[in-house]
Each structure stands twice: as structure tokens, then as C-alpha cells.
Structure 1
């Protein structure tokens, strides 16, 4: 399937590639466990439903913060790997500490630390993989994001045997209804923005939960990830007490890749301002931006806005598809509707796996056009067949498949346009996280005020906005190519790249 050149690149960078993939497995493991376990954590902390939902906010907010500052660690390989090692180790520590958090505030702090680590992982792993493979990064980015889905599938499976089927705080007169608990768990699985004020669960009484074992198992499963990062640091001679000797092997590989057939990269690396962006804020204040054309800003802005919309759909759909399914006119049983979120995430994982060979055969822009159009068509069909429970499951599968590869394809596309400077990755990762958080709030508010049918209408509007913004991105891409072709003084070191031109055909 692959040509010999790609196999050579993979063999040359096998250890760092596998390490970054394992780091994203850690990311996926951490992002999916909170929803299924939230009711048992409520019992553990003996808090109300309203209090425990703040744990979601602390994780999401700090994930966004970590994504925005993560790029600051990319300037050297030592900084990048040190940040990854610290972040993955923190995730294992948080898993181990969560069973000891018997206060909701302590739990929120632990989840905030985990969210910060996840944000740093998200930005750095993407940047480092793009940095290694550059024009060939699309294939490897698809594989990278497959491991998020894989980790997100494993995490609930580990937790499920240890979840309480009845109310895990047993007080006087407590009604331990299994059906109510399953309904609450499914409602909280994706987002805390449900109206749960009419549910009054006891906070005083005997706590009967075994969820601690799930977290300790996940801590052990995640432990090999920081060990793998440390092994990569040792191989690259970046461990301070073992430093010295010849230059790191990975840096020599990267230098060979940059100089082979790409003389322009050797020129740009001499420019002290090129490609040395840090976090999101230093990207916005870099000296490089002074001579940048309008198209440079437009590509960052519109690329980020497309992911703001599409990742917003992912967050809103996974969070509220259960609420939509149990409400009229669908009226699915709670247990049946509870499978929808799992089906959605499973289809995203399968879609990313399928996209690995597709990204080798087709340029990212074609995959983006196909996926964005597929999202709109799928939501339109869901609106047409709004009363069909069968098509709800079919449409959920299709929507997950079309949404699955948008992020890695957009990342490869924009970094290719902007000559792999790394700042685009920070902007895109932050925009995607912001969209997932903000649009969940917006869609949840609309559903509660206008009814469940508005859920699909919101998805259609957001999808159409994302598709329109993508055509704006293509326009700025063409403008940027024209600017580079004019040989302006600010960009004389860059040349027009054949792959970018092919991607517009």
C-alpha cells in the first residue's frame, strides 16, 4: 500500500512515532472516563449532582488552557519530551489519587491538573509528528488520532464492571432504582449541561462503590506511556544526568529529512524568527507577523473556525444524542438510547483507522471536502427521518465516520500551506477545544429552551457554517500562493509547493 519512501521514513522514526501514538492513547484514556464514573464519584465525595458537574468544567477549562500554552514547549526536543513525560506521568498520578479525593473541591483540582496535562499532550504530540514527517504527516496524523479513539473506547470498558447499578450512597428511605441510575449516568456521560435539578440523590449515608479499582487499573495501564517517553529521551541523550556524546539521533534524522530534496528548509532555518513560535499568545506577538500577508492571518483564523465548528458538533452530539433519543418523538428506552454515544465514538475510531490509507491516496483538501459535505448530508437525513430510531443509529455511525478525520486532515493541510512553522497547530488545537466547550453550552441551552428537535437543527446550522468557512480557507490559500509566487521580501525563503497546488484540484 505504501511506497518505499514512507516505509523508510517510518523505520527511521519508529520509536518517536510509536511514543507519540502511545501518548495520544493516554489522552484518550483520560478524556473518556469521567462521564461513566461521575455518579460513583458523586457518592465518593458525597456531593450533589449540581456540585459534581463542576468537575467537568474544571477538566475542560484546563484542557483548553493546556492546549493554548502547550506550544511553548516545542522550541527544543528536550522541552517537548520533558513536557510529554511530565504530562503523562501526571495522568497516571491523577488516576491513582482520584480514589483518595473524598471532597468535591479536591476532585475538581485533580481533574484540572489532568486537563492541563491533556492539553499539553494534544498540542505537543501533533506538533512533533508534523515536525518529523512534514509533507507526509497526513497519514501519521490519522494514526495518531486513531489512538485517541482507542483510548476513549478502552476507558469506559475498564470502568463498567466497577460502576454501581443502584444509588451508591445508601441512606434512610433511599430508592435504589437501577433504571433511574442508568438514565442519570447516560445523561451525564457526555456533558454536565443537563437539567437535573428535579433529581434529589442522598449525600449522607453509607458509601458503597468499587470505582476506585477502575482508576487504579487505568493508572497501571497508563504507566508504560511515561516510561516510553523517558526511553525516547534516553535514546536521544536528553536525560540531564546521562547527557553528552554525539548529537541526538532524532535531530540528525530531522536534519537529513529537511535537507533531502528541500533546499528551501535549510534557508528558513537560518532565519531566527521562522518557526520559533511558542504558545498561542507568543504566536500572536511574534516578530514574524509584522511582514505577514493578510492570507497568513486568514488561514489561521478560518482553519481554526472550521475546527471550532466540527469539534463543536462532536462535543454537542456525543453529549446530547441521549437526551434527544429519550425525548419525543423518538422516545427510545433509556438502555437502548444509552448505546448511541458509544456507537458514535466507536464510529469515530473506525473512521480514523480507515482514513489512514485514504490519507495516503488522497490529499487532505479532498478528504476535508468529502467529510464536511458528508456531515451536512447526514444531519439533513437525520432531520428528514427524525422519527426513525433505526436511522438514528445509522446516522450516528455515518456522522462519526465523516467527523473522524477532519481534525488531522485540517492540521496537515494548514501546516503544509504555512510551511510547518508549528504555530498553526497551536491555533487549531486551541480552537477545536474551545469549540467543543462553547458549542456544548450553546446547544444545551437551546435544547432546554426550544425542545429536543432543535438539537438536529443546531447540528445542521453549525455544519453549514463550517462548510462555508472551509471555502473561505481555500480562498485565502489561493491568495497565499499568489503572495508567495510574487517573491515578496518577507517570504523570499519560501517556494510554491507542488502538493499544495495538487490539493486544490
Structure 2
């Protein structure tokens, strides 16, 4: 009993922390899907053309780049849960203010701040989850990314219901604001994990090649994910699979459902297979599915099956990349920040490139 009691207490603390960080992932998922469904409301609020408000996407992405770098530099210098709380408070303040503004420039500034704050939170909880679960983090990262995807699925529904019931997005934004405040209070009552360097030393700071490789992988992956999500409806319309914009939008929903479900389905595989094997096999599946879609773009059934396959294949790459990194490298805030900064840069660059390719005759 004397031997097992500390282990039981440690396991209980690890479970509590893991659940806390899962909730953080879910909140970031909600925030990641907030802009697109709100765009028509912002157009009506500001009286601005779509071309003007398109800058909100760039502002959000640039804020994400800033947030990833700032969080990475601060994580090992201040209290870890204090840093999470600061990010959550910033999220709550920005979300409370956004629905009250009527000026495009002010909205752009606030969406930059929202991008910074949500990525600040994401980098921090991602690193802390890696500290808690260490080399066995694979299935936990998959489960955490399920919460991330679930949040991305739920937020458009919340915004739609808010618009239906109240005529604007305030209700949805303020509900998420309340969630951020509640999570802040919960985090401050929870004991933070020790930095990984105090748990075990692996000289991870010297593995620059490994860190750079994962950063490039995430740059490509997130760029591809956002490009597919953003341009899939346009691809469907341009290829004549449907002439209805609402029907075309369902293909994006189908893609995200596949990604979210796939992250849960990959959990048992993450317990048995090496992360590098999962990344390689998932990339091969995605490449074959994309080739199938491109070569059979006139078939609704083939494109639908291809979209589902791409979503299922892509779902494991992001968590497996971090699991692969956690096995070799000491996971500091800076390591997570650099990798997620690369991911944010991919989200800025590849959608533009995909749009050029899609619209070129």
C-alpha cells in the first residue's frame, strides 16, 4: 500500500491534467472555426464587401504565428498554468468585444489578437500534455486532436443557432467566452506538471534536424488541410458535381467529420505502431485518395469516397508528428512554438497557392 499510493496519486493527477488539456484543445477547436460561419454577419454589420473582410483571415493567421512564437519563448520562464490562464483571459476579452464592433479595421485587429491568444493557449496545452504523457503521448495526442476537431464541428452549429434565435452571433461568442472563463478558473485550481527537463534529460535541444523535419511536415500538413477545407466547395462547383453552393459546402463538413472520427479511430493504432510508420502510411493513403479525386472529378461517388479517405488519412498525421518528436526531443515551449509557427505559416501560404491553381484555366 505504501508503494502503490504515490503511484495512484500520480496517476490521478495525470488524468486530471490530461482532461484539462483536452478541454483546452476543444476550446481552441471552437475558436478555429469561428470566423467562416460569422462572415455573412460581419458583412451585414460593417456594410463592407467580402474583398475587404477577407483580411480577417490573414489577420487571424498572422496572429497565430505571433502567438506560437511568444508562447514558446515564455513557457519555460513563467508559471505554465499562469500562462494558460493569461491566454484564456485574452480569448474571453476578445470574444466579448468582437460582436460589438462595426469597423473592419477594428475587427482585423481583434481577429489578430484572437489568433494570437488561441495559439498561445494551444502551444502551451500541447506542450504540457507532452510533459504529462511523455514518450507514451501518441494515443493521447490523437484523443486531444479529436476534441480539437469536435470543437471545429460544434462552433458552426452554435453560430447558426445564434443567428437563427437572435439574428446575430453574440450568443455563440459569449457562450464560448463563458467557457474560456470557466476553464481559466479550473486551470488555476490545478497543479501544473513539472517541465520535462526535470523529469528526464535526453539532450533534446540538440536534435535540430528532427525539429526542423517535423516543422516542415506540419507546414505541409496544415497547409494541405486548410487548403482542402477552404477550396473543396469551389472544386466541387467548378467540376460540375453540383450547382448548389449549400450542397458543395457539405463536402467540407464531410471532410471534417472524417478527420474528427479518424483521430478517434487511430488511437488504438497509436498504442501499437511507431509514429513514423503511421505518418508514412497516412501520407501514402492521402496521396492515393487525392489522385483518385483528381482523375475522377466528374463522379460524385468517387469524389465523396476520396474526401472521406483523405480526411481519415490526414487525421493521424498531426498527432503522430508530435508523438514522433516527443520520443526523440525534450519538449520545451520553444520546440512546440517553432513547430506550430511552421503550421501557421503553412495555413497562410498553401490556401493562396491552391486558389491560384484552382482558378488557373
On whether the aligned pair clears a TM of 0.5, the verdict is: yes
Q: d(CA) in 1 for partners of 2:312 and 2:320?
A: 14
The answer to whether the aligner puts 1:142 opposite 2:142 as a matched pair is: yes
Where do 5+ consecutive residues of structure 2 fail to align? Answer: 1-6
1:224 paired residue number: 182
Task: Report the Cα offset of residue 413 of structure 1.
Answer: 0.5
Q: d(CA) in 2 for partners of 1:123 and 1:323?
A: 32
* CA offset digits 1:129-149 (Å, max 9, x no partner): 112221111121112211111
Where do 5+ consecutive residues of structure 1 fail to align? Answer: 1-5, 165-207, 237-249, 259-264, 276-287, 452-505
The answer to whether the aligner puts 1:25 opposite 2:31 as a matched pair is: no
Question: For residues 252 and 388 of structure 1, do their structure 2 counterparts lie closer, same or farther at Cα, with a shift above 3 Å needed?
Answer: closer
Q: d(CA) in 2 for partners of 1:317 and 1:10?
A: 39
- Would the aligned equivalents of 2:76 and 2:333 in 1 still touch at CA under 8 Å? no
The answer to whether the aligner puts 1:323 opposite 2:323 as a matched pair is: no
Q: d(CA) in 2 for partners of 1:148 and 1:252?
A: 24
Q: d(CA) in 1 for partners of 2:14 and 2:195?
A: 11
Q: d(CA) in 2 for partners of 1:252 and 1:37?
A: 39
Report runs of 4+ in structure 1 exceeding 4 Å deviation.
6-10, 252-255
Q: How many residues align?
A: 355
- Would the aligned equivalents of 1:44 and 1:209 in 2 still touch at CA under 8 Å? no
1:403 paired residue number: 314
1:302 paired residue number: 213
Q: d(CA) in 1 for partners of 2:8 and 2:142?
A: 16
The answer to whether the aligner puts 1:427 opposite 2:338 as a matched pair is: yes
Mapping for residues 123-134 of structure 1, pairs under 5 Å: 123-134=123-134
Mapping for residues 414-453 of structure 1, pairs under 5 Å: 414-421=325-332, 423-448=334-359, 450-451=360-361
- Would the aligned equivalents of 1:62 and 1:112 in 2 still touch at CA under 8 Å? yes
* CA offset digits 1:193-227 (Å, max 9, x no partner): xxxxxxxxxxxxxxx94222222233234432212
1:337 paired residue number: 248
Q: d(CA) in 2 for partners of 1:341 and 1:136?
A: 32
Mapping for residues 216-255 of structure 1, pairs under 5 Å: 216-232=174-190, 235=191, 250-251=193-194
Mapping for residues 72-471 of structure 1, pairs under 5 Å: 72-75=73-76, 78-163=78-163, 209-232=167-190, 235=191, 250-251=193-194, 258=199, 265=200, 268=201, 292=206, 296-421=207-332, 423-448=334-359, 450-451=360-361
Task: Report the Cα offset of residue 33 of structure 1.
Answer: 1.4
Q: d(CA) in 2 for partners of 1:253 and 1:410?
A: 18
Q: How well do the aligned residues superpose, as a CA RMSD in angstroms?
A: 2.5
Task: Report the Cα offset of residue 12 of structure 1.
Answer: 3.6
* CA offset digits 1:354-396 (Å, max 9, x no partner): 1222211222112112111111111111122211112222211
| TM-score, length of structure 1 as denominator length | 0.66
| SS of residue paired to 1:57 | helix
Task: Report the Cα offset of residue 59 of structure 1.
Answer: 0.8
Q: Which structure exhibits the higher relative contact order, with contacts defined as CA atoms closer than 8 Å and separated by 6 or more residues?
A: 2
1:59 paired residue number: 60
Report which stretch shifted further, 119-128 or 422-431: 422-431
- Would the aligned equivalents of 2:131 and 2:196 in 1 still touch at CA under 8 Å? no
Q: d(CA) in 2 for partners of 1:383 and 1:421?
A: 40
1:454 paired residue number: none
| TM-score, length of structure 2 as denominator length | 0.90
